[in-house]
């Protein structure tokens, strides 16, 4: 999971309002055994919207 966090932070530093496609591209190099990265993408979108 740390790789996801670092990738997400790097993306948000470059693009504060990323699209879903931007997020998918940013985390592409990280491998996760979860359910299709859905919750990870949603979490990054929430952070981008300052909901968390």
Instruction: Compute the distance between CA of residue 1 and CA of residue 7 in angstroms, rounded to an integer.
Output: 10
* Tens digit of each residue's pLDDT (9 = 90 or more) over 6-24: 999 999 999 999 999 999 9
Residue 34 pLDDT: 75
Residue 15 pLDDT: 96
The domain made up of 2-48 is a member of CATH 1.10.150.120: yes
The two three-digit tokens of residue 22, written as one number: 């931007």
**Helix ranges, the chain (H):** 2-14, 20-26, 38-48
Of the candidates 27, 49, 47, 48, the one whose C-alpha atom is nearest the C-alpha of residue 36 is 27
* Tens digit of each residue's pLDDT (9 = 90 or more) over 28-52: 999 888 777 999 999 999 999 986 5
In degrees, rounded to 5, the angle at the alpha carbon of residue 44 between the alpha carbons of residues 52 and 18 is 120
Question: Number of helices and strands (H, E) in the chain?
Answer: 3, 0
Domain ranges (residues) in the chain: 2-48
């Amino acid at each position: 999971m740390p790789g996801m966090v670092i990738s997400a932070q790097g993306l948000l530093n470059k693009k504060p309002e990323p699209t879903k496609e931007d997020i998918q591209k940013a985390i592409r190099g990280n491998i996760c055994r979860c359910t299709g990265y859905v919750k990870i993408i949603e979490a990054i979108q929430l952070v981008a919207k300052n909901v968390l």
